[in-house]
Amino acid sequence: MVNRRSFLWGISSLTLASMLSGCEKKYDLNIAQLQGSIPIQLIVALQQEFQKIGIVNFQPQSTLKDIYDLLLTWQGKNKIREKNQLSFALPNFSENKSPVIADDLVTLGNYWLNLAIVEKLIEPVELNKLETWQNLPLEFQNLVTRNDQGKLDNKGKIWGAPYRWGCAMIAYRNDKFAELGWQPQDWHDLWKKDLTRKFSLLNQPRETLGLILKKLGYSYNFEDLNTISELKSEWIALQKQVKFYDNTNYLQPLILGDTWLAVGWSTDILPLVKQYKNISAVIPKSGTSLWADIWVKPRQDKNNPQQLEKIYDFIDFCWQEKSAKQINLFTNGVSPIESSLKSNSKIVQMSSDVFAKSDFIETLPSASVKQYEQLWKNMQ
């Protein structure tokens, strides 16, 4: 089961050039992407129908963290990783050498976008010159429009191209809830006595504390937890309800009936709903957490204008209606292209009202991170 853990994806490897031919070729475009984030059908269509780009070499990586580490390596920066928190050393460039960039374009999750901008690992792209930019809903345009400090800024630069998104959902057993005579609709249902020790939550502070914040009317990105007087009591009450926390094997107990409900990522839950008729899913009415996979361009000292055009051509291809539909059909995510959203049965429950109440999880200031970690640690 492929799922999103710590904003990361587990994937295997695939190279289009090796799929099409056993001989070595010079690639016109090198892309590090997450297998599963774009379908093979789209890759084949790109090679057959959009030949002006040339031969594209896709180099899937195991996780979003692996791709972020590649960006750090290409810029010659050493990374210091602390438990549950990212902090970075000052730039440590090798002597008088320009960084060697292996790829023209890479996938990055929206959570990492702020960090990549601050660390000068990526560079802005002029996507607003593409006609397909206008097909991107304003929420996704705003997501990648930021200032040089990585903060959301509608007067800032464009730092990437969102091509797939998903959310946190509630999956539940139809038979169990038929006996109860009601179905889960929102986060507040998790506090009902009917569900005591009958559900699982993600082992993620930002996801689990975030759903409590959302229940109380706050954002997943709320910074000062100490100002919310009722947060701790709500957290204590929820602790008495949950059966276990897990990021990996949380759906198997639901399939077996050992749990009646599970909070998880849409990429895990949507395939389950399709496979098991006894399991349904709902997006909480008060809003949920969102994530997006984004094409970003690694920073380089000099850019080749012809190579830039190929990058723009590729992004334009991903934003075309046909490509968007293939992403919807053959991945467990959803294309952000507006016309494809209207006909996509996967997100029929994600109304514009619920989407407006939902939050793309952003990086927080270090002081806020410590608050989340401390509260999580004290209650675990």
Tell me: do 260 and 352 sit in the same domain: no
Residue 121 lies in domain: 4-165+290-356
Tell me: do 13 and 153 sit in the same domain: yes
Report how far residue 69's alpha carbon sits from residue 74's, in angstroms, rounded to the nearest whole number. 9
| 263 contacts 202 by C-beta, under 8 angstroms | yes
Tell me: do 47 and 187 sit in the same domain: no
Tell me: do 30 and 87 sit in the same domain: yes
Averaged pLDDT, groups of 10, the chain, 380 residues long: 37 37 67 88 86 87 90 78 35 42 92 96 96 94 97 97 96 97 97 98 96 98 96 96 96 97 95 94 96 96 91 95 92 83 59 93 95 88
Which residues are CB-neighbours of 7 under 8 A, at least 6 positions away? Answer: 64, 109, 111, 112, 291, 361
Tell me: do 34 and 147 sit in the same domain: yes
Tell me: do 204 and 330 sit in the same domain: no
Tell me: do 187 and 122 sit in the same domain: no
pTM: 0.86
- pLDDT at residue 36 in the model: 81
What tokens appear for 12 in the block? Answer: 């295997």
Instruction: For 261, list phi and psi in degrees, rounded to 5.
Output: -155, 150
Report the domain count for the chain: 2
Instruction: For 167, list phi and psi in degrees, rounded to 5.
Output: -155, 175
Tell me: do 216 and 247 sit in the same domain: yes
Tell me: do 189 and 215 sit in the same domain: yes
User: Greatest CA separation found in the chain?
Assistant: 70
Tell me: do 89 and 224 sit in the same domain: no
Tell me: do 102 and 135 sit in the same domain: yes
What tokens appear for 332 in the block? Answer: 């467990």
Among 64, 54, 27, 14, CA closest to 164: 64
- What CATH number corresponds to the domain at position 372? 3.40.190.10
Which residues are CB-neighbours of 162 under 8 A, at least 6 positions away? Answer: 110, 136, 140, 143, 144, 292, 293, 294, 336
Tell me: do 297 and 280 sit in the same domain: no
- CA dihedral for 77, 80, 85, 87, sign (positive or negative): negative
